[in-house]
Chain A
């Protein structure tokens, strides 16, 4: 059974870059046909899809984030990563990494504050 685990700083200053990594165990991210997603959830609010990377390396991003997002993968480390640039307080949320729809990480809280 595949497992995902997010890691990265819990506090980021405004205007800086939020960087998170998702480590996948129980399956190789370089094989199969899967989408690896980043999804976030502000406290007390709903879910927002940030973007995804396919097994082939192709990416899609949510245009609501105004081009501030990059998602990449490192098959040698079996990880995929999120970079969100020029963050503001509105980017404070729990960030989840997800394979397709059924395999979720536990989520990691990222707070944007000086």
Chain B
């Protein structure tokens, strides 16, 4: 099983600041089968990025994904008030599919 470790656990930032979220895999992720989700309280996760760097439909361009192999990053260029949430990384290239433990982005 590919274990995904996200860091930091919590990120305290102000609106307008840049957020950098990391996800490290215990072994190399197959191809580009890597995604990021955003989840707000009481809601289902929302797909932000898949294929490492392809934004999902309707996702603003302030969200960008990058990385390869075992190290992946989600960058939010300028935080908007609606971006404060929990973010999960996800690999779907090898079964069992796995998720990271999440990074909470909170208002400083």
The answer to whether A binds B is: yes
Tally the A-B contacts, defined by beta carbons under 8 Å: 43
Q: Check B45–A102 contact: CB distance below 8 A.
A: no
In contact, A104 and B90 (Cβ under 8 angstroms)? no
Say how far B23's CB is from chain A's closest CB, in angstroms: 12
Is B68 an interface residue, CB under 8 A from the partner?
no
Contact B90 A101 (CB under 8 A): yes
A49 touches B57 (CB 8 A): no
Choose among B35, B50, B96, B102 the residue that contacts A49 (Cβ–Cβ < 8 A): B96
Contacts of A49 in B (CB 8 A): 96-99
Kindly state whether residue A62 has any CB partner on chain B within 8 Å: yes
Let me know if B99 and A48 touch, CB within 8 A: yes
Q: In whole angstroms, what is the CA distance A107 to B43 when docked?
A: 8
A64–B97 Cα gap in the complex (Å)? 11
User: Interface residues of A toward B: which range?
Assistant: 10 to 19
A:26-56 near B, CB below 8 Å: 37, 46-49, 52
Tell me if B44 and A47 are in contact (CB < 8 A).
no
Contacts of B96 in A (CB 8 A): 49, 60-64
B47 CB within 8 Å of chain A = yes
In the assembled complex, B84 has its CB within 8 A of some CB on chain A: no
The residue on A at minimum CB distance from B97 is A49
Residues of B within 8 A of A104 (CB): 44-46
A46 touching B44, Cβ below 8 Å: no
Given the interface pairs A47-B88, A96-B44, A107-B44, the reply to whether A102 lies near B50 with Cβ below 8 Å is: yes
Chain B interface residues (CB < 8 Å from chain A): 1, 35, 37, 44-47, 50, 56-57, 88, 90, 92, 95-102
Q: Can you add 7 more A-B contacts, CB < 8 Å, to A46-B102, A96-B44, A101-B35?
A: A49-B97, A60-B95, A62-B97, A96-B45, A101-B90, A102-B57, A105-B44
Binding site for B on A (CB under 8 A): 37, 46-49, 52, 60-64, 96, 101-102, 104-107
Task: Give the 3 A-B residue pairs with the shortest CB-CB distance, closest first.
Answer: A104-B44, A49-B97, A47-B99
Report 5 cross-chain contacts, Cβ distance below 8 Å, ordered by A residue. A37-B97, A46-B101, A49-B96, A64-B1, A101-B50
